[in-house]
Structure 1
């Protein structure tokens, strides 16, 4: 059965102009012509077109597709055409994986840039790295929080205060946080109970740190923050970077925060 250029164009979802180009380049010449001289494609032509479109989808240039679809050159005598195609596909597979890896890295860089911009912190890239260190590289949780709570007055106030901090302020904030993390992990490593005085004092210190530098943090708000520590690794990473974490530390801090909230409740004597 034969098919016209228009029919093949409709079947394949490509333009008539593309089919004409394939013909003039020798990549896909129709097997027959009508009495009026119009191109007519056979079933075998359609099968070849399907192969061409497959390789085009993988990003192969037309000249390389032509090479793949040809019989092996003399230097590869004795090999099957499929083996020649497989060599090209393996090379393309490696190239695509390399491109995917590069694109993933670019996506991460773009995400990090957007995340840092969401904090409103007016620092140069060098200053950001100097002040934040590894914390700079996982602020997706902070970004999502901003998008979720951006219309809340408390969040807007927190972001405004963050934007107003100087480089020196941020250096102080990060130094305080690093010192607090050291004492938190020391208490955890020493086996101090999560609902004991030492752990609750550390939880209260964390709450006061948020209040002092960002926004008033009542105990109910603090417990909601701590709940995220056990459900979202990114949330906990803002308090304790991955290099300083230990298995069980997130629920330990959550328990301490909840115990401290009970201790701070009116009439509790805390």
Structure 2
């Protein structure tokens, strides 16, 4: 609204506080506060002592709103509005720097959310070639999609996706190396006749549970359920038995024995 139009709307005395607030899109209480702190003081008063805002006053209100939108504190806005023209650029440049920093932080947050969404959708943020290079030739990239299809709606998948979103290729390589070492130790123990329930077997079962806990929190009961799947599911059984014949069943047995030693009945264990 131009000064002339404002004057026409306000009349010779200006706008009342209610009209000024409505025009600027703020509350009357806000204008009272700004008057109290000296940020925007009305130029006139009625005979009864009520505030009257001139066109220049309303223009100042709008300038306050612009600077407040930029994130400037009210005391800083007052200094900026009352500063000589030559001093205007310094606080604005400072605010611009702060805004750019804020944009950078927000963009980093957006990138993190995008990674989380992608991890939840695809299961692992590695190309098929990277997966094979890290996990070995026996690894099938389709396994990640299969896991998502099977467990995508579970709390464990959500936890896995959150952790996977923060993993770089070197993190996956470290995990793959740890798993390879564990599988070799499991195969050697099964091959040499380590008995389920022994201290050595229980330690291996706990190492295996810890390898699952990299992806999501794995209770003893959940570990028992996974052990059953390793032995009963043809795909899992084939994977472990390719490492050492009979390894899938032996792994199930040491998981059951370890859980039993810690007070969990494998026969009644559930996914909890």
Higher Cα Rg, which structure: 2
User: Structure 1 length normalisation: TM-score?
Assistant: 0.48
